[in-house]
Amino acid sequence: MSETVLVTGGTGYVGGWCIAELLKRGYRVRTTVRSLGKESQIRAAVAREVEADANLTVHAADLLNDTGWDDAMAGCDYVLHVASPLTGAASGDRYGLVAPARDGTLRVLKAATKAGVKRVVMTSAAATARQPLSRDVVSDETMWADPDDPQFDAYRVSKILAEKAAWEFVTAQDGAIEFTTIMPGAIFGPILSAETTGSVDIIGGLLKGQPKVLPKLGFWITDVRDLADIHIRAMTSPQAKNERFIATGDFLWMGDIAAALRHGLGRQATNVPTKSLPVLLTKLLIPFNSQLRTIAPLVGRRFRLSTDKIRKVLGYTPRPAADTIIDCARSLLDVRAAA
């Protein structure tokens, strides 16, 4: 009999890909949503990759409420905890997402422990290990970021504190449940539905010619397909038990991303910006531009990350970042054309 995996946040970008990959590999999959009205949306998204048949069931369970979690967890072998709030914090409130992210994660872990789940794999973020930009160090899984560091926005602060709370909970269980965290960078790649957020919106903006001039801002790229694969590897690998893994590929500046789009898409990239904004000029404009203020600490900065551990333990071999960017853009164009 095939094993059963619960994926939280089935309507999300990463959650959808995790569901699809699990189904391809013969697992029975459950996913949680706040409203069962989203079931058709999930099935349509997953169907772009694999038939979403009886091996996929959808359960109502909200990260902010205890209702439904015991039923969703009953009989599950593993949990991929992918869901995390992206929005909801008041402007300027860097701690506004901490409570829902932390409390939701603990709710999932408590229900999983009660149900006898073998292992929970949580989607964290590479930012949880990132050291202050003033330190010239290579960040790895032994390190923890300071949530009070101004380089982090509300989403990343919530990731840092939610993962810390999760490890504290798991440690207190004294071996009752296994736990692993996967720490991606900026997530790009093909989309499964028209609803997009986060990194993918950067590509959508560039295809429309926004911003008109490219800031000196860079990202460690994680392909969503690689990320789904590595969640599943971490779920079953004995060596991944109670470990953290940074999962990133190449580092690209915004100018590199724009160049990849123009090279890979040809005429379809006509609107992609070609001009870059010098670092000094960007910093001079920061006091007068609210969008620039949010990224001010990262302008012109390339922090360093180590992926030695995930490559050695889980055999992680990321796709070339340029391919990831082009595949992301092509899927966006396909969805727009079908709309």
Q: Quote the CA–CA distance of 208 and 29 in Å, as a whole number.
A: 37
Classify 4-195+221-249+303-319 by CATH class: alpha beta
Taking the C-alpha atoms of residue 330 and residue 264, their distance in angstroms, rounded to an integer, is 9
- The domains of the chain are located at 4-195+221-249+303-319
Q: Please give the pLDDT value at position 283.
A: 77
Instruction: Supply the residues annotated as catalytic.
Output: 159
What CA–CA distance (Å, rounded) separates 312 from 152?
29
Task: Give the separation between CA 99 and CA 63, rounded to whole angstroms.
Answer: 11
Element (H, E) at 105: helix 98-115
CB proximity list for 79: less than 8 A, separation 6 or greater: 5, 6, 7, 8, 73, 108, 112, 117, 119, 120, 121
> For position 88, what pLDDT does the model report?
52
What pLDDT is stored for residue 90 in this prediction? Answer: 45
CA distance 133 to 131: 6
Q: What are phi and psi of 80, to 5 degrees?
A: -105, 105
H/E stretch holding 328: helix 321-338
DSSP, residue by residue, 222-266: EEHHHHHHHHHHHHH-GGGTT-EEEE---EEEHHHHHHHHHHHHG
List the chain pLDDT tens, one digit each, 339 residues. Answer: 599 999 999 999 999 999 999 999 999 999 999 999 999 999 999 999 999 889 999 999 999 999 999 999 999 999 999 988 665 544 566 777 888 899 999 999 999 999 999 999 999 999 999 998 778 899 999 999 999 888 888 888 999 999 999 999 999 999 999 999 999 999 999 999 988 878 899 999 999 999 899 988 899 999 999 999 999 999 999 999 999 999 999 999 999 999 999 999 999 999 999 999 888 887 777 777 665 666 677 788 888 999 999 999 999 999 999 999 999 999 999 988 876
Cβ atoms 25, 232 nearer than 8 A: yes
Query: From CA 137, how far away is CA 118, in angstroms rounded?
Result: 35
Closest C-alpha among 221, 181, 168, 177 to residue 314:
181
pLDDT of residue 195: 83
Distance of CA 308 to the CA centre of its chain: 20
What pTM value is reported for the model?
0.94
pLDDT at 286: 72
